[in-house]
């Protein structure tokens, strides 16, 4: 039955979902850039939230969030989440209710409109192949957090291709320790079935987002950081 549904969805995907998402990205991306120049990043953030919700609505993606009691919207966090799909971005940006700055791989900076809009939103591009440049980008993230924004890291470094959780890189956690801002672990489930990596095999579905209790790494000795990272990774993995 699911195969039949997937076949029937194809005309809608190509004639409605993808064109509308593309137009929304173009129009709201330009609006985001102009709004950031005229009114500042808060107005640009509101437009980005609208874009996120339109993209999820048009697919459509149903989102089920648990654990909202574990965070407050008036304080910053270092958000660490598993990464299954590009759908993770609108899901988190549109529904968490936080002022979000993204750590984005530098290759995405060159996407027309989208790349520049993200820059005006205050997102941080990071060169994964240049460690010194990456460290400088992380320091820039620290300055943005002083204004009450949260930063999202995908500590696996890339999207999973098989749904399994990859090892975590240390950058987000060392940054959380040095900045004194708590880590907010988040588990995202099922986005890989909505839009698998490296494909346009889009299909509706339900995404489950589990928000775990925050973890303060401020007093964690550097020698114990690997153990703390392992525990946070196990927390995220346990909800998959």
Total number of domains constituting the chain: 1
CA distances from 32 to 109, 117, 185, 233 (A): 15, 6, 28, 34
Does 225 map to a domain? yes
State residue 33's pLDDT score.
85
State residue 140's pLDDT score.
64
CATH code of 183's domain: 3.40.1130.10
CA distance 209 to 186: 7
Which residue ranges in the chain fall short of pLDDT 70? 1, 128-147
State residue 82's pLDDT score.
98
State residue 65's pLDDT score.
98
The whole domain housing 124 covers: 62-238
Does 137 map to a domain? yes
- In terms of Cα–Cα distance, which of 144, 47, 148, 37 is closest to 90? 47
């Amino acid at each position: 039955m699911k195969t039949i549904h997937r076949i029937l969805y194809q005309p809608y995907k190509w004639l409605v979902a993808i064109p509308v998402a593309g137009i929304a990205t173009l129009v709201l991306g330009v609006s985001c850039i102009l709004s950031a120049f005229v009114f500042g990043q808060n107005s640009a953030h509101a437009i980005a939230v609208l874009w996120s919700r339109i993209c999820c609505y048009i697919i459509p993606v149903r989102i089920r969030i648990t654990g909202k009691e574990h965070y407050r919207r008036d304080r910053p966090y270092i958000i660490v989440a598993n990464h299954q799909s590009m759908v993770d971005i609108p899901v988190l940006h549109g529904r968490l209710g936080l002022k979000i700055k993204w750590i984005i791989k530098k290759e995405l900076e060159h996407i027309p409109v989208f790349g520049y809009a993200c820059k005006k939103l205050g997102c941080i591009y990071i060169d994964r192949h240049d460690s010194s440049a990456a460290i400088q980008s992380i320091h820039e993230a620290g300055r943005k957090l002083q204004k009450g924004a949260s930063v999202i890291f995908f500590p696996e470094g890339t999207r999973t291709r098989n749904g399994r959780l990859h090892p975590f890189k240390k950058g987000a956690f060392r940054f959380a320790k040095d900045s004194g801002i708590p880590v907010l672990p988040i588990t995202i489930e099922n986005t890989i079935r909505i839009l698998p990596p490296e494909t346009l095999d889009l299909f509706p579905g339900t995404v489950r987002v589990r928000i775990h209790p925050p973890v303060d790494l401020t007093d964690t000795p550097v020698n114990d950081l690997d153990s703390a990272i392992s525990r946070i990774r196990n927390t995220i993995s346990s909800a998959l």
